[in-house]
Amino acid sequence: MIPIENFLILSSLLFAMGLYGVLARRSAILILMSIELMLAAVSINFIAFATYLDGEAFSGLVFALFVITVAAAEVGLALGIVLRLFRERRTAYVDAADSLKW
């Protein structure tokens, strides 16, 4: 059996890449994709733990399922809001969203 550490390392790499993307990217769409990476890391973690834990193993798998569903809903919602910004400013770059400061 593959040791659980491997899964955890994979998920932490994915999570770190996602977090970097959120901080470094300026396009709202790419930020959303980076959030998706972070959520994928979460799913991997839950599934790995669920497989290695006895007893209530299913709750982790169900959790992963819900994370995937909610993530899809979140992207749909966020894209709608990005679209609104695009209609108003003709750009999806978050730097353009600068009318609110301090």
Partner 1 sequence: MTDLLGNDLNLQYELLGPEIALVITAALVLFADAFRRELKIGQSAIPAISILGLVVALLLSLLWIDENKDFARLVTIDNFTTFFRVLFIAVTVVVIIGSHEYIERRVSHLGEFYSLLLLSTVGAMLMAGARDLLTAYLAIEVMSFSLYILVSLAKSDTRSGEASLKYVLLGGVASAMLLYGLSFLYGVGGSTQYTEIAAALSDGTSTLELPLLLGLALIIAGLGFKASAVPFHMWTPDAYEGAPIPITAYLSATSKAATFALLLRWFAGPLLPAIDSWQWMISVLAVLTMVIGNLVALQQSNIKRLLAYSSIGQVGFMLMAIVTISDQTGSALLLHLSGYIITNLAVFMGVIAFYNRTGREEIVAFRGLAQTNPYLALVITAGLFSLAGMPLLAGFLTKFILFQSVVSGGYTWLVVTALLASTVSLYYYLQVIRQMYMYQPEGDASRWRLSPTGYLATGAMLVGVVWVGVYAAPFYTAADRAIAPLFT
Which residues form the interface with partner 1 (CB under 8 A)?
A: 11, 15, 18-19, 22, 28, 31-32, 35, 38-39, 41-42, 45-46, 49, 53, 55-56, 58-60, 62-63, 66-67, 70, 73-74, 77-78, 81-82, 84-85, 88-89, 94, 97, 99-100, 102
> Shortest gap between Cβ of 5 and partner 1 (angstroms)?
11
Q: Which residue has the tokens 């959120």?
A: 22
Nearer CB in complex with partner 1: 6/81: 81
Copy the structure tokens of residue 59. Answer: 């709750």
The SS3 assignment for 90 reads coil
Q: What is the DSSP letter of 97?
A: -
| Strand partners for 93 | 27
> Shortest gap between Cβ of 6 and partner 1 (angstroms)?
14
Q: How far is CA 62 from the centre of its chain?
A: 17
Nearer CB in complex with partner 1: 1/58: 58
The SS3 assignment for 91 reads coil
